[in-house]
Amino acid sequence: MPTTLILSALAILPVVLLSIYVYRKDKFEKEPFGMLLKTFFFGCLSVIPAVILEGFLMGIHQATTANGSVLSYSLYHGFVVAGFSEELSKLLLLALAMWRSRHFNEYFDGIVYAAFLSLGFAGVENFTYVFGQGDLYASLHTALLRAAVSVPGHFLFGVAMGYYFALAKFEPAKRMSHLVKALLVPLVLHGTFDALIFSYSLFSDERPVISIILFIAFIFFDIKIWKAGKRKLNKLQLKSEVQHWENYQYTEGDDGENG
């Protein structure tokens, strides 16, 4: 029992910490707790269509590629199986949960809700991997590794998705372009992220020099997407601030006219 509690805590802790982080970044109008729970739950549900689509796409790859290279496997699994399946599922569930919601009323809300949804997905995935190992040591290793790498990765993909999702909501002149980016940008980030990890693990035994290069490339890429994610957070914070100022001026103007 204590072991189960420890593993559960390790699996959920990074999800909780990143949820608190993005919630605190919402400076102007905090989102209702119930809506955040709803979005998180939709993220958990998004695992279902993602797994179904992943199984279908893996079946196609196995049927059409008998002896593929490490590179082709990593790229296909990273961009098509994981990236496309998971980000498409998350975007569809995000749109279903939030697009018409009255609570989605400012730019930064896009990032908040997309991040919570992505963390819901990451939480379910985390429990699956942590409790799917053969022994306690492997479970602890997986929990710590995913807390440092995979869960933050999903969070950053969610930030990118929410950024363009918000632009699509509040800038209708370029709505379709922004919606396409809400899928493609996190897909490319996710695909690159996973392809580097898969390639590193597949090369680690036979070609250690290549694996070291891939590890360095992954660290560099991870730093870059964190910086890009923070820029997106800051940009939408500023846009939300402008929205609040414009709404305040509009309200003050109405009060003056009515007075």
* C-alpha span between 127 and 112 (Å, rounded): 23
User: Measuring CA to CA, how many Å separate 182 from each of 128, 198, 250?
Assistant: 27, 24, 31
Instruction: State whether the Cα torsion 67-71-72-75 is positive or negative.
Output: positive
Cα 221 → chain centroid: 16
pTM of the model as a whole = 0.91
Residues in Cβ contact with 136 at an 8 Å cutoff, skipping those fewer than 6 apart: 3
What's the mean pLDDT in 98-102?
94
Chain segment 151-182, per-residue pLDDT in tens: 999 999 999 999 999 999 999 999 999 999 99
Domain extents in the chain = 2-258
Q: How does residue 65 score in pLDDT terms, banded at 50, 70 and 90?
A: low
Strands (DSSP E) found in 107-253: none
Chain segment 173-214, per-residue pLDDT in tens: 999 999 999 999 999 999 999 999 988 887 766 777 888 898
User: Within a 10 A sphere around the Cβ of 175, how many other Cβ atoms?
Assistant: 13
Q: Work out the mean pLDDT of the chain and round it to a whole number.
A: 90
Judge whether residue 258 has pLDDT over 50: no
* C-alpha span between 201 and 207 (Å, rounded): 10
Residues in Cβ contact with 218 at an 8 Å cutoff, skipping those fewer than 6 apart: 193, 196, 197, 200
* C-alpha span between 146 and 72 (Å, rounded): 24
